Structure 1
Amino acid sequence: MTTHRFRDSMFTDGEMRQTDDGWVVQARVARGGNVQAYRGSEMGLMDRDIVRVYRPAAEVFDRKAFQTYARKPITIGHPAEGVTPETWKDLAVGEIDRDVVRDGEFVSVPLLFRDAKAVALLNSGGPRELSMGYDASVEFRDGVTPDGEPYDAVMSDFRMNHVAVVSNARGGSELRIGDGAAKWGASPVHDAGKEVPMTLRKIMVDGLEVETTDAGAAAINKLTTDAEKAKAIADKALADAVADHQKQIAAKDAEIAKVEAERDDLKAKVVSDADLDKLVAARADLIGTAKAIADADYTGKSEAEIRKAAVAAKLGDAAVADKSDAYIEARFDILAEDAAPADPLRGALKDAKPVKAARALADEARAARHKSLTEGWNAPVDVKH
């Protein structure tokens, strides 16, 4: 950031009024929020024809800047070195009063002329233009104002030095410029009333060659960069939206798959009438067996619980404590065999004595018959009387 001297034209808001202290006229001395064009040579840039300088309203109307207006001297012409404490007495013909205010986009100040000769000069057809001489800091950087106007530098830290009464001004009635760059700082040229030569350059915009000024090129480059950034943001937002949508679809698909799996599982668990009959019969048989082992209430118990309860009832809780289902099922089956009802035929066969073979029985019967026939006549006869 560098410091430069500037002089901007002013215009009055009315006729001079004589007061006890001198002659007073209200003037607009500065504008805020605009862009002013200066010759590059006056800004120290010899390779640039024009430099566009942005004057932010926040800087122009800053409280510290306002404080530098009050009591600044009025001079005839711009002093080459400005007004200093050493030259004030010789140069000052009046001063800016203290009532510095903002008037729309302008700074408005009361000018108090105390020198009669200067007033006479103004009223006699002499120099009637007013020009503000001030210092300001300038930062050279490209940009675009909120209104879309491109610029090459930004002005800040305004410090007023004096107000000059000048002649032969180069601008119009508003914001007129001073009387020559050689005496005091740079003056704006955008209101000069004549064409200012500018160096044009060629740039490529979306495949097309465009001829424009340096400031125009800077503005186009900024707009292009901004457009690319906006496109990148939009592309990312679209990609994020697509990815989010795909995630939502995947989540829905997973939810649908889960519902279908649960439905299929429920279908698999549906029992047909025949299977239901088998299950009922099997459960009835199991409960019957359990009751044969130990008569108890097995209502509401699962098959494993029925076996465990029957074994525990028959053998005691210790028989099933910390035992696996397979172990308990084996004990149940053993107890079931022991508790089965007796088979009469099987019992008879089990308890029957051994018998001889049929041939042996026949031989014995034949021998007894023969003995009866051969020896029977000798047997004693029991005669009853």
Structure 2
Amino acid sequence: MILTDSVSVSAVRRTTDGYLVADARVARTGIQEYLGSEVGKPDVPIIRVYRPPEAVFAEDAMRSYAYRPMTNDHHGDVNAGNWKQLAVGQTGSEVLRDGDFVRVPLVLMDAAAIRDYEAGKRELSMGLEATVVFEDGVTPDGQTYNARIESMRMNHLALVDRARGGEQLRIGDQRAPGVQPQAQDDPKGGHDMADALRKLLVDGLTIETTEQGAQAIEKLNKQLSDAQVNIKTLTDGHAAAMATKDAELAKKDAEIDSLKSKQLSDADIDKRVQERADLISTAKQIADGDYTGKSEAEIRKAAVVAKLGDAAVKDKADAYIAARFDILAEDAAEDPVRQHMRQQDGKPTNPADNGQTAYEQRLADAWKGESK
């Protein structure tokens, strides 16, 4: 994990080659605040990271301060592949403990970086790899923390306008032209924060906070805005789903009501059965036949065809066929003799003679034979 620190610079001088040489504090023990996103905890606004002396002044850590490339601002990991493009100087080899600080010599060799320094860009920020253990605890001097560093290895030292402490630090007792004097120095190498505060408008109220606090508030505001958008999306989706479900239920209710309206009562069934029986009886009066399984229109058509032939109904509408059926039904009802004769078709002409006629015919035939 790459972390950054902020330190002060002192004992500055220029060489005959134009380089800027200084002796600087580049690390310290104690609490430093990081955005959660900087240390792999994007859901946490601020993480208070404790750097214990045993990590800051460990032998491996102290050796790693020597011969580190210097950069103008941070550019991520600095290595052999990008050193030529990024380096503006380097640290020296005389790494010393200075109370709660680590002090190293450094040299700025790039003219543009030196001009930035002379214009007031004087804060230093270490880029380092660190093992961070996330745990709540309390430092020996009573400060609470959310994480602590177990081991450190320096990667580069950057010249920056403002690092983690806030405002730029003094160089000895002199400041760059145009830079206002600092009211008070933090004995730990921190800053007077009065000029480092930012004004923010939060829920209609103007507040002042540090750069890190402002970043945390802006991040939380964005998360709140995103959450509100998500809630509206979910609410709209739920309302649309409920509207669709209500429409489906209304359709089902309409179908049920329609089916109820179509359901026949016992009296309705009896009436329809009687009407069909009467229709079939009338059709049989017109032309006797099998009308089973036919609809009312088919029964009328079959009776008319049986009586008058196919030509009588060819290309005719159901209303016409129904009218012809009614006429034929009236005719059949007004001609009882014809109806009686139709009923007698196919029956024996004298069913009551009990074979008498046949007997007499046989006698007559026998007599004719004898006379010959």
Alignment TM class, shorter chain as reference: 0.3 to 0.5
- The structure with the larger Rg is 1
Q: Which has the higher contact order (CA 8 A, sep 6+)?
A: 1
